[in-house]
Amino acid sequence: PHSPIHHTSNPTTEEESIPTETEAWEFTASA
């Protein structure tokens, strides 16, 4: 299984997996 922290790189997995708080701010910072 792939790590949820890596799911940010995969748009498909991103939708399937629920982003954590760390990923949430990373996604916002990247956007």
The confidence score (pLDDT) of residue 31 equals: 60
The confidence score (pLDDT) of residue 29 equals: 72
30 is in which domain, residue-wise? 1-31
Distance (Å, rounded) from C-alpha 25 to C-alpha 2? 20
The confidence score (pLDDT) of residue 26 equals: 72
Number of independent structural domains in the chain: 1
- Average pLDDT for 18-30: 69
The confidence score (pLDDT) of residue 19 equals: 60
Split at pLDDT 50, 70, 90, the class of 21 is confident
Q: Which of 11-15, 18-22, 26-30 has the lowest mean pLDDT?
A: 11-15
DSSP single-letter state for residue 6: G
